[in-house]
Structure 1
Amino acid sequence: MDTTKSKSAADEVTEELLPSGMRDSFEIEDVLPSASDFHIDRKFALTLFVIWTGNFLCSVDGTIVSTTMSNIASEFGQSDMVSWIATSYLLTSTAFQPLYGKTSDILGRKTLLLFAQCVFTLGTLLSALATNVETLSIARAVSGMGGAGIYALASIIITDVVPLSKRSIFVGYGTIIGSTAQMLGAPLGGICIVTIGWRWMFLVQVPFLLVCIVLLAWKVEVRVEHIPEGEERFSRENLQRIDIGGIVTLNLAVSSIIFLFAENESSSMAYRVCFSMLLVLSTIGYFLIEKYVAVEKIIDPELVKGQIGVVGFTSGISSLGLYMVLFITPVYLQQVQGVSVTRIGIYTTFFVISTAIGSLVAGYIIRKHDKSDVHTIVGSINTSTVFFAFQTFGFAILTLLVSLVEPETKGLAWRVVYVFGLVLAGFGSGGYNVGTVIFIIGKVGKRVQASANTLCSLIRQLGSVIGVSLSLSSYSRSVAYGLRRFFKGPDEHYVDKLVGDSTFLKDGLPEQYVKDVLHIYKRAIASTFIPSFALIVIGLVVMLFLNRRVTHAHAHQL
């Protein structure tokens, strides 16, 4: 390939794709690091092992409670607080995303990754020692603080050292590991709850995490040209670059959004007013700090503009749908269809495999379009759009099925259709994530990629936590409302028992009420799918328009 011609094309695509305020912020070598200098040696392999092992455990921990949270909450007699077991981890893993991206440009990738792994290990250990839902939720929140860094820095470190033409493969591998771990969390949780117990599903992770910490501290080196080394890294001048005010206010704003979405029927008006005011004040504070105080902004506002902002929006929608399915599917299968916890793992295994295959296929397709940077960028957005369509079709099947199939339906037909929907949704999600990562990195270059990754990871995580908290809280509210309408007079006491203990439906409720209550649960779950499906359809329409614009703009260069 002619190098001069390639760079000319790269300059042209960079000029057109980036917001105007960022076009002079980096050289084209940042967008196209030399592929000829790249090779896999022992140090790089060890670095991959450490970051991918940490990412695997972090991803498993994010979803391992999806099939066990009902059992854990019932064990503590706090089934009405079940959503907090899931959302506490997602809350902090989302809110702390901004801490790591830009800060790692100042203090170094290794320093921040070591901090993140230590915090995550502490939270995992505390989760195993929890005595009620409150302490478990706090421990899960601590895990999320560290998990945010492990998740974000894994992607950033890969893009630091791998050239654009080869990133689709490594991003594909990383996505396979992360996605597979996310999907394995549910079946592993189900197996643990009926064998070694839920406490051990946290404890067994600790030794592996300690090995990662030791290897990272003593054997791994991550050097990036624009990050200061030695004493200069911790000098007063360099530390002043950390946007502490921006981190705090953005953290509060994101947390407020999550708390507002996580409200349930028992939430008071004071709760809503308090977090609404906190959201407004922290948002205003963030913009004032970024405009007048911050030396270096944690998220460059130029990144939000144009196509990067659009891709971030659709990434959030995709993640919302993915996590909504991941956490509602076990509830639907267990509560409505009477599937055992262990057998639920069979369904989610199809989700696991299809997500991994989607990531691998997308990476291979994009790799076939790496003749130049223009081909890679256009190929990645084309691939993302196609895979987003797969996810949309899969979600449509699941939405129709939970709305139409009767509770405790026997036979194989509905199960096959449900698995097919899961496979399409997982395949689409896995491939879409790989395509968007390559598209974003190809646009902004290495010097800005940490901030761009932070932005998209934040939106993606925000989508996931909103998907989980909104679906679970909506489900809980719908169930409580339906039960109160059904049980009146002398039978009213059944409402509190069903709301407080999900196992009471099968173990204590009189037989004559079971069928009607199951229909209440079914309608509640169907009501959570419909708004999420509407958002995913909107996301697909947006992706189709974006794909058309990018492809037509660079058709003459392909």
Structure 2
Amino acid sequence: MAPSPKQTERSPLLVTVTETDDPERNGNDALQESRESSQGEKKTPNMLIIFPAITIGIFLAAADSTIALVSYATISSELDALNLASWIMTAYALTLASIQPLYGKLCDIFGRKECLLAAYVLFALGCLVCGFARSIEELIAARVLQAAGGAGLGTVVSILLTGLVPLEDRGVWQAVVSVVYSLGAGLGAPLGGLLTASVGWRWAFFGQVPLCVIAIAVISVCLDGDIGRPVDSGERGAEDMLAKLRRVDFLGSASLIIMIAAFMFGLDRGSNVSWAVPETYGSFLVSGLAALWFFYVEMRVAREPILPIASTFSAELLPIYSSAFLVFFAIVALDFVLPLYYQVKDQLGPQQASLYMLPAIVGGVVSSVLTGFWMRHTGQYYWALMLVSVLQITGGIFAYLWSGPAGESTTGLIISQAVAEFGIGNSVVSGLIALISNGPSTNIAVMTAMYFAFRNLGSVLGVSVVSTVIQQTLRDILTVELQKYDNLDVGKIVDEVRKSLESLQTLDPEIAALVRRSYGQAMNKGFLLILVVSVAAAIPALKIRGGKKRRSP
């Protein structure tokens, strides 16, 4: 008996697929339509109710990726661990990058609705634990739990939307989602700063729990449990829980987490302790072995790998993933360094520093909307991605020059961030459209999850590597400069100013000014690295296929 037709993740739930203007896709869409005709009618969700509920997740996940950008110095100083401040963000982004690939396959196995509800529950629990954290270690652990849910909030919602709208309208819908994402990512830092300066940083986490509860209630009632899940056969659809768990690539996921976490720990130990101690080079060794084991598992062992090697490293998809990785490496690192610069060099509080980020928020939102309509009317995602490269390189040049070589200008740095974020608002729309246009229609969930994973892995390494460069440079400069003064405990001062900015208030004004200048020099090296990565991001973008010709009206 022939198997029943298979529904793909591209199958729209609200409208009938019509032939597009792209001849390369007409065959796939026609085949998809014929498959859908035999599936029967699906329960249509009320988009006026369900869309806000599911996009709350996009907003919260994006906000939490930046919520500590402005306030991390205050949080870590209060917990007496400024030298570990980057881990407040790194732990979150690291977990996102490690778990997101798994969500793509989990959606196919357990269903979109179930995965989204589980993500909301994990995220809400993580927010509660963050708010009650008593030490930097507890806060970092809570951020891991929070990110385990946040990985699903961003990924599963995007996978859901590929089934809710047709391809020709996806650019506009993705623009709407990107506006929500940009608002979340943009407002996360200012809101975190405002709450930190007013009622305390803990409420930046507590305040998200009620929104999660509302979203859980609405999704539970209004969203179809079988929405968008592919079913290979009657037997596959009736699998028990044990059979479903056997399909999950736990071994690959565990080795991926170990690989990334060990590498990040090595960077942290190298910059804060020494590059020659066993815990530093031992971590890099563990990371390398885990990487070898991970690729072996994905190619030889896993029944359904979280990283399909053939498609991930194909000529069509690898440039898209590589470009996204480097683009987000640069922008998140820039967003991480600038608030610290304002607080150290301009002596601003978190609330004031957060206001300096508002032009970048506006730039990202406007860019997302414009790009969405551009995609709908022209389909030229290639040229949109080229514009991303130009804007990000320009922003990187401004940040580097106006933090030292061309003088120090706070206004110039605000402009540099706004220019770079205008490019990112474009990237979050055009990058995903390029992915959907180049990838196989039967693997959209896994492809989308991998795309988000590469973006967040870039964010992880961006913050960690640039923070490592800054901390190492700062330590080297201060060690040399402070030795010129008599009767100073150089080691103690270097250790204290790298742990807490409040320690600057206890120093002699001349020494405090020296420390601030040294911070500025160290951060300028960080901006230089961001510029280099921005230039590197343009190389794979040039190799992205398709999206050059204007779609016929």
> What's the TM-score bracket when you normalise by the shorter of the two chains?
0.7 to 0.9
- 1:226 is aligned to 230
Q: 2:258 aligns with which of 243, 252, 270?
A: 252
Give the SS at the match of 1:306. coil
Q: Compute the displacement of 1:355 (Å).
A: 0.5
Quick one: which amino acid aligns to residue 440 of structure 1? L
The AA in structure 1 aligned to 2:286 is: L
**2:274 is equivalent to residue 274 of structure 1:** no
Say if 1:40 and 1:381 are closer, same or farther in 2 by CA, change over 3 A.
Answer: farther
Change beyond 3 A, Cα 1:3–1:363: closer
What is residue 317 of structure 1 aligned with on the other side? Answer: 326
2:4 counterpart residue number: none
- What is the TM-score with the length of structure 2 in the denominator? 0.88
Choose which of 355, 359, 368 in structure 2 pairs with 1:350.
Answer: 359
Out of 496-505 and 303-312, give the one that drifted further. Answer: 496-505
Whether the 8 Å CA contact 2:72–2:85 is kept in 1: the answer is yes
Q: What is the match of residue 290 of structure 1?
A: 298
Shift of 1:557: 9.1
What's the counterpart of residue 3 of structure 2?
A: none
Aligned equivalent of 2:524, options 512, 520, 526: 526
Q: Amino acid of the residue matched to residue 180 of structure 1? A: L
Is the contact made by 1:116 and 1:145 (CA closer than 8 Å) also made in structure 2? yes
* Structure 1 counterpart of 2:76, one-letter code: A
Determine the C-alpha separation between the residues in 2 that align with 1:401 and 1:394: 11
Give, in angstroms, the shift of residue 94 of structure 1.
1.4
In the alignment, residue 456 of structure 1 is paired with which amino acid? Y
Instruction: Summarize the Cα distance change of 1:486–1:30 in structure 2 as closer, same or farther, 3 Å threshold.
Output: farther
Within 2, Cα distance between the matches of 1:418 and 1:284?
41
Superposed, 1:467-506 pairs within 5 Å as: 467-488=462-483, 489-491=486-488, 492=490, 493-505=492-504
Aligned counterparts of 1:79 and 1:433: Cα–Cα separation in 2: 31
Report Cα offsets for 1:369-404 as digits up to 9, x if no partner.
2xxxxxx3xx11221212331122122111211123
**Residue pair 1:176, 1:356 contacting (<8 A) in 2 also:** yes
Q: Which of 446, 460, 464 pairs up with 2:459?
A: 464
Report the alpha carbon displacement of residue 523 of structure 1 after superposing the two structures with TM.
0.7
Cα displacement (A) at 1:522: 0.8
CA distance in 2, matches of 1:39, 1:350: 43
Is 1:190 the equivalent of 2:193? yes
CA deviation after TM superposition for structure 1 residue 311, in Å? 1.1
Q: 1:363 aligns with which of 347, 350, 372?
A: 372
The letter of the residue matching 1:252 is: I
Give distance in 2, aligned partners of 1:525 and 1:56.
30
CA pair 539-457 structure 1, distance change in 2 beyond 3 A: same
**Cα distance in 2 between the residues matched to 1:256 and 1:460:** 19
**Which protein has the bigger helix share?**
1
Aligned to 1:66, the other structure's residue is in SS state coil
Instruction: Tell me what 1:22 maps to.
Output: none
| 2:393 aligned partner | 392
Counterpart contact for 1:89–1:140, Cα < 8 Å: yes
Superposed CA deviations along residues 416-449 of structure 1, whole A, max 9, x for unmatched, are 3322222211111110221010111122244211
Q: 1:77, 1:500 within 8 Å by CA — same for their partners in 2?
A: yes
Distance between the aligned counterparts of 1:391 and 1:528, measured in 2?
15
1:10 equivalent to 2:53? Answer no
Distance 1:487 1:161 in 2: 61
1:101-129 Cα distance to aligned partner (Å, 9 max, x none): 11211111111111111111111100000
Q: Distance in 2 between matches of 1:55 and 1:480?
A: 38
Q: Deviation of residue 187 (structure 1)?
A: 1.0
Show structure 1 runs of 4+ deviating over 6 A.
Answer: 2-5, 30-34, 37-41, 228-231, 554-558
Deviation of residue 181 (structure 1)? 0.8
Which consecutive unaligned segments of at least 5 residues does structure 1 have?
15-25, 370-375, 408-413
| Number of the residue aligned with 2:52 | 49
Q: Could you tell me whether the CA contact under 8 Å between 2:20 and 2:26 is conserved in 1? A: no
Q: For 1:313-462, list aligned pairs within 5 A.
A: 313-369=322-378, 376=379, 379-404=380-405, 414-462=409-457
1: distance between equivalents of 2:466 and 2:30? 44
Contact 1:249/1:282 (<8 A) preserved: yes
TM-score for both structures, normalised by structure 1: 0.87
- TM-superposed CA distance for 1:153, in Å, is 0.9
CA deviation profile, 1:176-221 (whole Å, cap 9, x unmatched)? 1112211111111111111110111111111111111222223222
- Structure 1 equivalent of residue 112 of structure 2: 109
CA separation of 1:496/1:278 partners in 2, compared to 1, >3 Å: closer, same or farther? closer
Other structure's SS at 1:77 match: coil
Whole-Å separation in 2 of the counterparts to 1:484 and 1:38: 71
Cα deviation digits, residues 315-350 of structure 1 (max 9, x gap): 111101110111111001110122332221221111
Q: Cα 1:421–1:239, aligned 2, differ >3 Å: closer, same or farther? A: same
Aligned-residue offset at 1:500: 2.8
Counterpart-to-counterpart distance in 1, 2:59 and 2:463: 20
Q: Is the 8 A contact 1:106 1:233 kept in 2?
A: no
| Partners of 2:71 and 2:201 within 8 A in 1 | yes
Deviations 1:129-156 (A, max 9, x none): 0111111111111111111111111111
Give the count of matched residue pairs.
525
Cα distance in 1 between the residues matched to 2:366 and 2:170: 17
The structural deviation recorded for 1:306 is: 0.6
Letter in 1 for 2:273: S
Q: State the match for 1:265 in structure 2.
A: 272
Tell me the CA shift for residue 238 of structure 1: 4.1
* Residue of structure 2 in register with 1:23 after alignment: none
Counterpart residue identity of residue 332, structure 1: Y
Give CA-to-partner distance per residue, 1:250-303, whole Å, 9 cap, x none: 222232333334442225622223322322332222222223322222222122
Report if aligned partners of 1:66, 1:186 keep a CA contact under 8 Å in 2: yes
Q: 1:296 to 1:542 in 2, by over 3 A?
A: closer
Task: Evaluate the alpha carbon distance shift between residue 80 and residue 456 of structure 1 in structure 2; reply closer, same or farther with a 3 A threshold.
Answer: same
How far off its partner does 1:307 sit?
Answer: 2.7
On the 8 A contact 1:93/1:147 being kept in 2, the answer is yes
Q: Which runs of 5+ in 2 are unaligned?
A: 1-16
Task: Show the counterpart of 2:139.
Answer: 136
For 1:226, give the aligned amino acid. P
Q: What is the CA-CA distance between 1:89 and the residue it aligns to?
A: 1.1
CA contact (8 A) 1:102 1:299 kept: no
Distance in structure 2 (CA, Å) of the matches to 1:310 and 1:145: 27
Using the aligned pairs only, state the percent identity: 23
Alpha-carbon distance change, 225 to 50 in structure 1, aligned in 2, over 3 angstroms: same
CA distance in 1, matches of 2:42, 2:362: 29
Are the aligned partners of 1:59 and 1:179 in contact in 2 as well (CA < 8 Å)? Answer: yes
* Alpha-carbon distance between aligned partners in 2 of 1:198 and 1:273, rounded to the nearest angstrom: 35
Seen in structure 2, the aligned counterparts of structure 1 residues 79 and 225 have a Cα distance that, compared at 3 Å, is closer
